[in-house]
């Protein structure tokens, strides 16, 4: 958890006005590895901010992704997931329980062919299958 003060600083450093909703959304995102969807963020924060609309969550997430404070994960055709961890790491999505797991990966050491002359903006590594819990049940 980054702490509210630090969260406000992060928003300010990107010239984003630190409204209550923005602070709480970013703070939640930084403190979780759940890779929540808009729906999940909304459900989580509604008890705390009863006036929070899904549109606000959606717009805030757009803003945070734009400012590089969060990442948008396009993993499959289901809802978009968000990640407060903007460092290099891979994702594994379980096809049964739907949970998204982080794993470490050295993306710079990843060998690719056929991208000579391309300028790469973003590197994502997605695996899918079944998590250990779903494998054993």
Q: Is 75 in the site for Zn ion (CB under 5 A)?
A: no
Segment contacting Zn ion (CB under 5 A): 4-12, 48-56, 109-117, 127-135?
127-135
Q: Is 30 in the site for Zn ion (CB under 5 A)?
A: no
Minimum distance, C-beta of residue 95 to Zn ion, in the bound complex (Å): 8
- How deeply is 136 buried, as exposed, middle or buried, from its count of CB atoms within 10 A (0-12, 13-18, 19+)? exposed
The angle, 0 to 180 degrees and rounded to 10, between the axes of the packed helices 20-30 and 38-45 is 110
Q: Is 105 in the site for Zn ion (CB under 5 A)?
A: no
Q: Is 80 in the site for Zn ion (CB under 5 A)?
A: no
Beta bridge partners of 129: 94
Helices (H) and strands (E) in the chain — how many of each? 5, 5
Q: Is 83 in the site for Zn ion (CB under 5 A)?
A: yes
Q: Is 88 in the site for Zn ion (CB under 5 A)?
A: no
Minimum distance, C-beta of residue 85 to Zn ion, in the bound complex (Å): 5
Phi, psi of 62 (to 5 degrees): -60, -45
CA dist., res. 53 & res. 57, Å (int): 7
Binding site for Zn ion (CB under 5 A): 83, 85, 94, 96-97, 102, 131, 134
């Amino acid at each position: 958890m980054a702490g509210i003060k630090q969260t406000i600083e992060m928003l300010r450093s990107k010239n984003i006005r630190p409204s209550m909703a923005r602070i709480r959304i970013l703070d939640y995102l930084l403190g979780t590895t759940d890779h929540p969807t808009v729906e999940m963020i909304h459900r989580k924060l509604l008890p705390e901010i009863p006036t929070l609309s899904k549109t606000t969550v959606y717009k805030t997430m757009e803003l945070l992704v734009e400012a590089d404070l969060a990442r948008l994960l396009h993993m499959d055709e289901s809802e978009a997931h968000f990640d407060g961890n903007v460092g290099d790491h891979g994702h594994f999505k379980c096809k049964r329980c739907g949970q998204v797991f982080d794993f470490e990966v050295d993306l710079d050491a990843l060998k690719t062919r056929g991208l000579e002359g391309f300028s790469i903006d973003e590197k994502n590594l997605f695996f899918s299958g079944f998590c250990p819990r779903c494998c054993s049940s």
